[in-house]
Amino acid sequence: MFNLLKGLLFGLAYVAPIGMQNLYVINTALDQPRHRAYLIAGIVIFFDISLSLACFFGVGQLLTAVPLLKLLLWAGGGSFITVLGIQLIRSTTTPLDVGSPQKAFHYRAAILAAFSIAWLNPQAILDGTMLLGAFRASLPGIKGDLFVSGVAISSFLWFTGLTTIVSLLKSQLNAKILTWINRVCGVVMLGYAVKLLSQFVGALL
């Protein structure tokens, strides 16, 4: 149980800092009905856990062995996240469409976004591999299994909790505040995109 708790605490510390996944979950909870926000949170959790498992078992070694794959992820991830950021900056929210089921929404696009945010960032994969790989090396067998299970549980608790809190509070926010939250999230996402694309360009030079 100690290793399960260790994994839970590590997972919360790892996922809690504001990143692209958190921004996406927050924006979805602000912009969509609660049931849909929970569904998207579930999709984000799935990709986050799958990435954690892959990092724990060493997928970062593949990126090191195949540099072209890293370049493709930098280019593809940077480009897609740029599109997401621009869409958020340009979006507007009115009192009639806050959390409205009629607001334009496509599950295929949401799944692609959740996948891209989690998996199309080779630096995140390499960093995760270094951190989780270090724990795996020191926790063989069942100890490692309990640890990574704790990491998975932390992902579920964090993103469902974040969705719940934002969904409950959004009724207290007016349309102007929601629009500015979208814009701030969009600017931060563009920052991530610039970082990915600059790494891609730097690798080519």
Checking if the pLDDT of 30 tops 90, the result is no
Q: How do residues 90-104 score in pLDDT, each as one tens digit? A: 876 544 344 444 456
Residue 58 backbone class (left: φ over 0; alpha: ψ -120 to 50; beta: rest): left
Distance (Å, whole) CA 196 – CA 111: 21
- Global pTM reads 0.79
In angstroms and rounded to an integer, the radius of gyration of the C-alpha atoms of the chain is 18
Distance (Å, whole) CA 175 – CA 177: 6
Q: How far is CA 111 from CA 7, 45, 127, 129, 154, in A?
A: 26, 11, 23, 24, 21
User: Residue 103's pLDDT is what?
Assistant: 54
Mean pLDDT of the chain: 83
Q: How do residues 52-62 score in pLDDT, each as one tens digit? A: 998 888 777 77
Domain hosting residue 108, numbered range: 2-204
Domain count, the chain: 1
Checking if the pLDDT of 163 tops 80, the result is yes
CB atoms within 10 A of CB 110: 18
